[in-house]
Amino acid sequence: MPTYKAPLRDMRFLINEVLDYSSHYASLSNGKDATPDMVEAILEGAATLCEEVLAPINLSGDAEGCTFSNGNVKTPEGFKEAYKAFVEGGWQGLSFPTEYGGQGLPMSVNVFKSEMAGTANWSFNMYPGLSIGCINTLMQYGTDAQKKLFLPPLVAGEWTGTMCLTEAQCGTDLAQVKTRAEPQADGTYKLTGTKIFISSGEHDLTDNIIHIVLARLPGAPAGTKGISLFVVPKVIVNADGSLGARNAVNCGSIEHKMGIRASSTALLNFDDATGYIIAEPNKGLEAMFTFMNTARIGTAIQGVAQAEASFQGALAYAKERRSMRALSGKKEPEFAADALIWHPDVRRMLLTQKAFAEGGRAMIYSAAQIADNMFNAVVEGDTKKYEDYDSRLGFYTPILKGFLTEMGLEAANLGMQVFGGHGYIHEHGMEHIARDARISTLYEGTTGIQALDLLGRKVLLGTRGKCVRDFTGLMWKFSKLHLFASSSVGSMARELTKRSVQWNILTTRIMLRAPGDKESVGAASFDFLMYSGYVMLAYFWALQAGKAQELWRLEKARNQQISTAPKSKPPSSISPVFCHAPTAIAKMHWHRRNR
């Protein structure tokens, strides 16, 4: 069974060095409390929760799964206790406004926590994870009364939320939604219909579940223009916030799934269930995309989480398992065979997993900064800034969701391959990761849907290629700083320059061909998405390499200064040339110099 260890060193490198989150938070209206000390405390606390509480019940939760009886769902042993610890720690409210009981920190802080929780136990992470989209939707489109009634317990984690879109006859094609909503004299609605594949639709972790539901009003226009959005609680909430009678929404069954077995996926029957409309009538799909985009970025985190989990398990196994001798001769002569890690093909697989995990993390953390800036623009009332950030994040979203989940699945399969036959056995945990990873390319829009969204809606129709030009502009800004360097970073910069030109040429060719052959867009979309993902991944790896080289040179210069400094001076009186270095580093160098 893999033992999860939060990759705090890698996370800190991105947060503190590559993406300079300290300066980023200083520029935000809600970032003043996200000081380096506060962020570090959150990282440490989340790591402890994930390593000591969530990870130990991951494999057992998969083996036990959820059980269904008479409309009720029981989560696996240990999940209720883990969820209680999650709620008591205030983890759900990290990035939500203080007026609803949250801690008011930027959204990206929650991303750091979500990545660790998802890597430790993705099934568990889905219960509070779906609530985030529910909260965001109510915050943006709910009435003041709805926010006051539903948001405080959701933000506290006392209740959870769901997204109810899919029906038996339609998944992505929401124009076929048939669930009905009949208006009542008191301003409420009665919803009737059946929704399937509802993650966290029924469970025993909380006393109430708040469903966000797509349905049609009487006489609504056909297709997506006639869809409205409603909030439907499992238990009716009284005006004072207390729980009343059970609503007419019931779980008919749960799915028996390939993976994420500890997460309940429910069939929900709405039989004249009481609901409350969100946003304007027949404008529900627009509001629902607030939830969808949250869910898609959350699923992109799943790709990174499962690449990281599989890499950690495979790396530990490759260091311990011995088989044959290295091609270049014995590496561990004291043993009958050398460790797997000495074999080049095993290192290839491990490094591929590492590339996806660490590169994907950088992609998501960068997107999280854009999301922070979007929220800040809303607070400032700057519509132009909001639209700019929204467009940038819209370009990222299908790449993150589509590409990173495909790479997470590939990394999970590579982890099984490193283990050989043992990877196929349940108790080693690797096949569990692969099974969990498989769903990530399917829900919240398949990879093909993300590809059409990227190429059709975002690149061709939405921006006429501007989004690609803007991103390749960032690539060129980095490349020109290192273009003529003889180092490996220089080689990366030159390759990035070629890819940025190629990406624009490919985009232009498809754009010119599309008017006369619309099918060519659909045929090219998957390859375009994957190409875009690889190039974006390369850019973020180059950023990390450039920063690592810069820090290495600084450290080398400090070492040289220390080696020539008088040996009699103690750490407290080190030369001002390097006194800006942290005290611990200065002391370390002084002791090395005076050994």
The DSSP annotation for 155-180 comes to: HHTSSEEEEE--BTTBSS-GGG---E
- 196 — phi, psi (to 5°)? -120, 165
In a domain, 85, yes or no: no
| pLDDT confidence of residue 289 | 78
Flag whether 492 is in a domain: yes
Quote the CA–CA distance of 491 and 485 in Å, as a whole number.
8
Picking from 359, 439, 438, the residue whose alpha carbon sits closest to that of residue 400 is 359
Q: How far is CA 449 from the centre of its chain?
A: 18
Q: How many domains does the chain have?
A: 1
Q: From CA 487, how far away is CA 492, in angstroms rounded? A: 9
Residues 6+ apart with CB under 8 A from 21: 15, 34, 39, 108, 369
Tell me, what's the pLDDT at 55? Answer: 98
User: What are φ and ψ of residue 274, in 5° steps?
Assistant: -75, 130
CA dihedral (522, 527, 530, 535) in degrees, to 10, reads -120
Q: Residue 558 falls within a domain, yes or no?
A: yes
pLDDT given at position 56 = 97
What is the spatial distance between Cα 536 and Cα 11, in angstroms, rounded to a whole number?
A: 19
Is 164 part of a structural domain of the chain? Answer: no
Q: Show the tokens assigned to 127.
A: 């219960």
Identified catalytic residue from 431, 444, 519, 550: 444
Q: Which helix (H) or strand (E) holds 497?
A: helix 488-513
Q: Is 482 exposed, middle or buried (0-12, 13-18, 19+ CB in 10 A)?
A: buried
> What SS3 class is residue 201?
coil
- Low-confidence spans in the chain with pLDDT less than 70: 1, 565-595
Question: Could you tell me the two tokens for 215?
Answer: 């349905």
pTM value? 0.91
Strand partners, 235: 246
Task: Kindly state the helix (H) or strand (E) to which residue 196 belongs, with its residue range.
Answer: strand 189-199
Among all chains, which residue has been given the structure tokens 């370009």? 395
CA distance 204 to 127: 11
List beta partners, residue 210. Answer: 161, 233
What pLDDT score does 115 carry? Answer: 98
The burial class, CB within 10 Å (0-12 / 13-18 / 19+), for 124 is buried
Looking only at the bridges linking them, the beta strands covering 235-237 and 228-233 are: unpaired
User: Which one-letter amino acid corresponds to residue 114?
Assistant: S
Q: How high is the pLDDT of residue 589?
A: 33
Q: Which domain covers residue 512, as residue numbers? A: 446-564
pLDDT digits (tens, 9 = 90+) for 527-547: 999 999 999 999 999 999 999
Catalytic: 51?
no
Task: Give tens-digit pLDDT for 562-595.
Answer: 777 666 544 333 332 322 323 333 333 333 333 3
What is the per-residue pLDDT for 564?
A: 73
Q: Does residue 440 lie in a domain region?
A: no
CA distance 266 to 195: 8
Taking the C-alpha atoms of residue 548 and residue 21, their distance in angstroms, rounded to an integer, is: 16
In three-state secondary structure terms, 576 is helix
| 502 within a domain of the structure (yes/no) | yes
Could you tell me the two tokens for 363?
Answer: 């992609």
Q: Could you give the C-alpha distances from 271 to 160, 184, 202, 253, 558, in angstroms and in order?
A: 21, 15, 16, 15, 71
Region of 445 on the Ramachandran plot (φ > 0 left; ψ -120 to 50 alpha; else beta): left
Answer yes or no: is 557 within a domain.
yes
Residue 547 covered by a domain:
yes
